[in-house]
Amino acid sequence: MKPKDLSVTVAGVRFPNPVIAASGTYGFGEDYAELYPPGVFGGISCKGLTLSERAGNPPPRIAETPGGILNSVGLQNPGVDVFIERHLPYMKKNCNVVIANISGETIGEYKKIAEKLDETGVDIIELNISCPNVKKGGAAWGVSAAGAGEVTKSVRAATGKPLMVKLTPNVTDIAEIARAAEAEGADCVSLINTVLGMRIDVKTRRPVLGNNAGGLSGGAVFPIAVRMVWQVARSVKIDVVGMGGISSAEDAVEMMLAGAKAVQIGTVMMGDPFAPLKIIGGIERYMEENGIDDLSGIVGKVKPW
């Protein structure tokens, strides 16, 4: 039987398979190494990086909810310089594609991080625009087309690396924001980031998270993510990477049918660390069962009514 081609090119970078570890869920590729090599993934998006070290939000920072989890980790990370010195060498040696996820509160912070990474072996920079814009009252950069376009334009000018812009779902029109990122030089968009949510303990009458509200991820957000990926894929010419609640090979295929060239997974690994192996193998089986030789036979092949 002819082997199936699971490779895919996103933002000009070749991935051996379309499954990527989502930022914040796989650390820097070392956390699961005792179970299987990080080279299992097509690529890994590292823990979100800021200009300086961040301790993150006060605990409790993670809470289970029906169909997912709420988190308010708050971008805990060692800072970009420590990443470059200590973690990037391991990732370049053991991972297929290295995606550096970056965050900032000001345009200047985003630019400085991008400039530092531009001189490294990072393959793609993923721009997290769900962070608060401190000069605009704390609203996230990505909640408006103007904000998304401004930060994308700035980072585009600071680096020649392929640029992936990670979109927040907490907006009125995600397609408009994707188009703004595309217009200012993004090579790719990834979506969705977590959905803003909150739970309250009825016994203590306190929120379950120390930061009161947090980001909802997991299976509960999957239909929202599929809808948004479908909308964005029809609205831009650049590549789309889908994420948000993918828990199985069928979910991954569904996301690709909606228009995603690759997918990112995260929350599912907390309950089943071997989920990546199952998802990659399941995609290949789907291709075999349906006579599909490469992923072009899946991506964007949804048949709307």
Active-site residues, by number, are 131
Q: How far is residue 113's CA from residue 36's CA, in Å, rounded to a whole number?
A: 30
Amino acid at 44: I
Rounded (5°) CA angle 112-117-121: 170
Would strands 98-102 and 68-71 be described as parallel, antiparallel, or unpaired?
Answer: unpaired
Cis amide leading into 16 (omega within 30):
no
Residue 101 pairs in a beta bridge with 126
Residue with tokens 């990443």: 83
Report H helices in 95-211: 107-118, 145-158, 174-183
Cβ contacts of 34 within 8 Å, gap of 6 or more: none
Report H helices in 23-144: 80-82, 88-94, 107-118
Q: How far is residue 69's CA from residue 62's CA, in Å, rounded to a whole number?
A: 7
Cβ contacts of 124 within 8 Å, gap of 6 or more: 10, 11, 13, 43, 97, 98, 99, 100, 161, 162, 163, 164, 188
**How far is residue 220 from each of residues 67, 114, 175, 208, measured CA to CA in Å?**
5, 33, 21, 18
Residue with tokens 């997991």: 218
Name the burial class of residue 126, with classes exposed (0-12), middle (13-18) and buried (19+) by CB atoms within 10 angstroms of its CB.
buried
